A and B are shown apart, each in its own frame.
Chain A
Amino acid sequence: MIWPSFLVNALLAGTAIAAAAGLVGYFVVLRAQVFTGDALSHVAFTGALAALALGVDERFGLFAATIGVGVALGALGGRGRADDVVIGSVFAWILGLGVFFLTLYTTTNSAGNGNAGVNVLFGSIFGLNRSEAVTAVVVAAVIAAGMVTIARPLLFASIDNAVAAARGIPVRMLGYVFLALVGAAAAEASQAVGALLLLGLLAAPAGTAQRLTTRPYSALLISAGLAVGEMWAGLALSYTVPALPPSFAILAVATGGYALALLSTRRRRSATRSVEASGLSSKVNH
């Protein structure tokens, strides 16, 4: 069977993006920074539309906006973790700004793509061409490599910030590097499922993985693996049932997986943190 090229491109980009999102997402959930991911999703929308309105490559605006704002949020909130109300206020305004650019783009380019806003918000993974897919793969590989490099100290800093700092780990710096990686992953994910839905790609596989195991490194791998699997299943579903948009299908599979994990595992959340913390600090002692 010969696969149409749009499907090959989507699978290529989707696999890489999902793996990066799964790795980054695990730490986003562990560090309770889902709200930051949420804010970035809105920033992605505005960045992409600003680039379109100014006539620049959409992806340039996407990455510049998410990485910039990710780092800025860390600086605003102090200690590398931003505060709810600050994030809330910033992203509400950023979205407003996005609407402004959307109007600017659609009114000045009457011949332009009227669905640009919808595509940015909800993704158009089946619309990627080969070079876009290859770029997405390269960027995803860089993100994944960065994540693997900082995984160990970041894990320590996420679980016990004070002890990590006392042991000479550059906690603040790590926080910034991590937020920059989250920003890049958000920009990647919004090419696959759209700016509004990228949070699901970050949070759902990671949440599922945390449910399935208490060991951090296994959870990290499971999170990435699940994200890739859910991406494949979603793309296949959307390809076989054309009425379902791909981003909906991917999110539906991911949400279904999480729901299953929540239902099938017993509640053990209180134990999780203490086990992780003691296991890690004893490892570091040796």
Chain B
Amino acid sequence: MIFAASPSWNPIIDLQEMWSFPFMVNAFRAGTIVAVLAGVMGWFMVLRRQSFAGHTLSLIGFPGAAGAVLIGVAASYGYFAFCLAGALVIAALPRAGPGGYSEESAVTGTVQSFALACGFLFVALYKGFLNGINALLFGNFLGISTGQVTLLGVVAALSLAALAVIGRPLAFASIDPDVATARNVPVRALSVAFLVLLGAATAEASQITGTLLVFALLVMPAATAQALTARPGRALALTVTIGLLVTWLGLSVAYYTPFPVGFFVTSFAFAGYVAAQGVRHTRSRWRAGTTEVSPTPTWTAP
């Protein structure tokens, strides 16, 4: 932050002071929208074990935004165009079986690096933009306009509505794709739809947290919640709550310190995750003695 106000430690006065600035109000509005959307999407992402795809989508936003700035368009359009296109490309790639995982991840890794390299090229071509590169990568909540908040809200509402429609079959297809296929659930179509929604959510969140930190909002609240409870409904509610708390806290602390919001959001989220893991461990030791019960599905090697 440019100026470092000091808090009075009275939450009501502090909130009033922060919200007397329109940019802070917009930052809180945008942060709230983003936290809810990213939380819900992240819950499905962790359930479907698609964190690598989610991460790729978040990185693809960087060349999008840098390219948009280079040709003189608002960065928002760049984020959406690239993240949605990236989601479609990932969806179009053949979904690898257990044996093909290594190649799939090699392709994803290469595409990620190339996307970042392109972003760097755009930034290098657009001279005098070197300071903006940090805002693109690590987020900036100072310059969010009311128009941007509206756009974020509309996209979030549409994405959540779409997710509400496909939510039940998607959860089914995520937990047991074979049985779901046997019951005529359109597993493939659901997977494409989910990736597109994930792309939209990533594009949204990137504008607040930056492309490198968006992943924190996607993965950490969901992972924390799933470590604490195995029940889907409760975990989803918990995910959104954690996301909101972390974002609000992060914004408030960043307002009073010279350090960027991304640092605080990720730190709070990570502290929550570590605490949840601790709770889970003590709980399972109480309950089952020696064998550890793990509520989250862990990725098993092919």
Contact = CB atoms under 8 A, between A and B. Distances in A.
A30 B102 contact: yes
Interface bin, chain A: 35 or more
B117 A248 contact: yes
Given A200-B117, A243-B124, A255-B110, A103 B298 contact: no
Contacts of B100: 269-270
A96 B269 CA distance: 11
A121 B137 contact: yes
Interface in A84-118: 84-85, 88-93, 95-97, 99-100, 102-104, 107, 114-115, 117-118
Interface bin, chain B: 35 or more
Given A85-B46, A92-B219, A97 B267 contact: yes
Contacts of A32: 101-102, 105, 301-302
Interface of A: 29-32, 34-35, 37-38, 42, 79, 81, 83-85, 88-93, 95-97, 99-100, 102-104, 107, 114-115, 117-118, 121-122, 161, 193-194, 196-204, 206-207, 210-211, 243-245, 247-248, 251-252, 254-255, 258, 262, 269-270, 272-273
Interface in B207-222: 212-213, 215-216, 219-220
B202 to A, nearest CB: 13
13 contacts: A29-B102, A34-B109, A88-B55, A102-B138, A103-B263, A122-B117, A204-B106, A207-B106, A210-B103, A243-B125, A251-B114, A255-B110, A269-B99
A258 B112 CA distance: 13
Contacts of B264: 96
Contacts of A34: 52, 102, 105-106, 108-109
A223 B121 CA distance: 26
B295 interface: no
Where chain A touches its partner, the secondary structure class is helix
Given A83-B298, A199-B113, A269 B103 contact: yes
Contacts, number: 192
A279 B14 CA distance: 69
A42 B269 CA distance: 17
B134 interface: yes
B49 interface: yes
A251 B301 contact: no
A199 B112 contact: yes
